Amino acid sequence: MGMSSRLRLVAGTGGRVAGPADAPSFDAFFEEEAQPLFRRMCLVTGDRSEAEEIMQDAFLALFERWDRIQSIEDPVGYLYRTAFNRWKRLSRRAARQLRALTDTVDRRDEFAGVDDRDAVDRGLAALTPRQRAAIVLTEVLGYTSPEAAGMLGVRDVTVRALASQGRATLRKVLEER
């Protein structure tokens, strides 16, 4: 599942496109991409700790194979795919734990507890994690539906539906003010 050069420009803070002839060191790559990835995953998860854990795992996975990854055409795309892959696993595990536990799970959602001054937070709080993921991938990161579908492991029609529902909810909340 390839990613457009447009995405690479959006995903990185500096918008630098790294190719084999311009392979960055791992530290430089981390420096450039860690903050954007962390922020996007915060939007998806609504939880700083979880977002940092996902970000760390994604970078660790790349670090272990950095000699190969630094020379691929699109290491940023690879990074995001790995991060969403990890997020899917964590979501699945969380769902399993929720079903197994009778007690309420104390999971902190950055968007759930905010006062109603911030419409964006209220909008995000009204979305499901899957809708947030679809919105972040398509709206913020600029993936096409088939590309986002590949990362989320669903059909592109599902991504379109999730993003459309998410956008409608966000717009509704944003227009309420």
Minimal distance in Å, beta carbon 1 to another protein? 8
List of residues contacting another protein (CB under 8 A): 27, 30-31, 34-35, 38-40, 42-43, 48, 51-53, 55-57, 59-61, 63, 65, 85-86, 88-89, 92-93, 95-96, 99, 118, 120-121, 124, 135-136, 139-140, 152-155, 158, 167, 170-171, 174
Minimal distance in Å, beta carbon 171 to another protein? 7
Inter-helix orientation angle 48-64/26-45, to 10°:
150
Residues 6+ apart with CB under 8 A from 19: 73
Residue with Cβ nearer another protein (16 or 48): 48
Q: Are 32 and 13 in contact (CB under 8 A)?
A: yes
**CA separation for the pair 134, 174 (Å, rounded):** 18
Largest CA distance in the chain: 55
Residue with Cβ nearer another protein (7 or 170): 170
**Per-residue b/e over 113-152, b at no fewer than 16 CB within 10 Å?**
eeeeeeeebbbbbebebbbbbbbbbbeebbbbbebbbbbb
Minimal distance in Å, beta carbon 174 to another protein? 7
Residue with Cβ nearer another protein (23 or 81): 81
| Sign of the alpha-carbon torsion through 54, 55, 58, 59 | negative
Residue with Cβ nearer another protein (17 or 174): 174
Minimal distance in Å, beta carbon 155 to another protein? 5
**CA separation for the pair 149, 135 (Å, rounded):** 12
Residue with Cβ nearer another protein (5 or 35): 35
Minimal distance in Å, beta carbon 16 to another protein? 18
